Amino acid sequence: MQNPIVEVAGASWTGRSPQADWAEALEGGGVLYFPQMAFSLSPAEAALLRPEVRDPKSRNISQRAQPDAPVKGAVGTEAELATLSAMMLRYRTQANALIDQLFPNYTPHLRLEPTSFRPMQVESRTQSWRADDKRLHVDAFPSRPNRGERILRVFTNLNPAGVPRLWRVGEPFDVMAQRFLPQAKPYRAWQAAWLRRLRITKSLRSEYDHMMLQLHDLLKQNLDYQRTADQMEMPFAAGSTWVCFSDQTLHAVYSGQFMMEQTYFMAPQYQTHPERSPLGVLTRLTGRPLLGAPL
């Protein structure tokens, strides 16, 4: 497997001039890795690096795109929650500046999605196989069809004790899709209509969304694939940042604790190579349009 990690030096979140190679790497399913680019915390913010900050009923702590949205999934005093919110918004501002600097062509087309803070220790989390991100997968949202929009994510390891966040990065998306598409259950328009009517999905699940969820599940269910697929271990150092299209890069997280993450969505036509997007690849492999009639 070709090394999917592209390292970029420098500790500053701003001041680089964009290089065509970076968008090429990202659109090829690679991960841009900034080993020295940390998110620095004030003492009050560092005091929030405790798993108890998360409400046990929530999976993550998150803040929606609206700047005045309350932090969701956290517990603490009013002052702690205010500090947490400010920390997440500051991370968002830095992530925005980074993406704007790396991929200026994407900027006008990006939609800001939630910022999240993940204070839980990955290796002690127990989850159903479907929710288990310790297994290689591509990101796809069961309740939120995205009709081929890209999921661009910025991650930063905040671990104060120097513990890396250990990922595995898998084979290229098209190689995986070629292998697993024949096993995918066929799309049924009436099922998608029911899921919508029952409000299980927020909008109509397209054939594209169905296939991405099928691939997500087929990969996670297949323990033989998990063990034997082409993959590499990648320890993202404490105080480092990385960026990928998480709907394309096969990834799994083994271990680690304390991370910030910022998500963006973008329609694939704004990529340099739209045909390399999951929508492009799946359309080519199936030989038919996967989005149906526009809504």
- Which residues contribute to the site for ligand SIN (CB under 6 A)? 118, 133, 139, 165, 246, 251, 253, 259
Which regions of the chain does DSSP assign to beta strands (E)?
A: 5-7, 31-34, 61-63, 111-118, 150-157, 165-170, 231-236, 241-245, 251-255, 259-266
Q: How far is the CB of 251 from ligand SIN (least distance, A)?
A: 6
Is the Cβ of residue 210 or residue 251 nearer to ligand SIN in the bound state? 251
Is the Cβ of residue 141 or residue 291 nearer to ligand SIN in the bound state? 141
Q: How far is the CB of 59 from ligand SIN (least distance, A)?
A: 11
Helical axes 173-180 vs 278-286, angle rounded to 10°: 40
- Cβ contacts of 277 within 8 Å, gap of 6 or more: 27, 148, 150, 245, 248, 268, 271
Is the Cβ of residue 205 or residue 251 nearer to ligand SIN in the bound state? 251
Question: Rule CB under 5 A: is residue 139 a binding residue for Fe ion?
Answer: yes
- DSSP lists the bridge partners of residue 155 as 242, 261
H/E stretch holding 27 reads helix 20-27
Question: Rule CB under 5 A: is residue 113 a binding residue for Fe ion?
Answer: no
Is the Cβ of residue 195 or residue 215 nearer to ligand SIN in the bound state? 215
Question: Rule CB under 5 A: is residue 45 a binding residue for Fe ion?
Answer: no
Q: How far is the CB of 111 from ligand SIN (least distance, A)?
A: 18
Q: How far is the CB of 139 from Fe ion (least distance, A)?
A: 4
Taking the CB of residue 56, how many other CB atoms lie within 10 A of it? 8
Residue 26 binds which of Fe ion, ligand SIN, none (CB < 5-8 A, kind-dependent)? none
Amino acid at 183: Q
Is the Cβ of residue 71 or residue 253 nearer to ligand SIN in the bound state? 253
Q: Compute the distance between CA of residue 105 and CA of residue 111 in angstroms, rounded to an integer.
A: 13
Q: How far is the CB of 108 from ligand SIN (least distance, A)?
A: 26
Which pair of structure tokens corresponds to residue 105? 């062509």
Amino acid at 32: L
Q: Compute the distance between CA of residue 251 and CA of residue 133 in angstroms, rounded to an integer.
A: 8
Residue 253 binds which of Fe ion, ligand SIN, none (CB < 5-8 A, kind-dependent)? ligand SIN
Is the Cβ of residue 92 or residue 216 nearer to ligand SIN in the bound state? 216
Query: Using CB under 5 A as the criterion, which residues of the chain lie in contact with Fe ion when the complex forms?
Result: 139
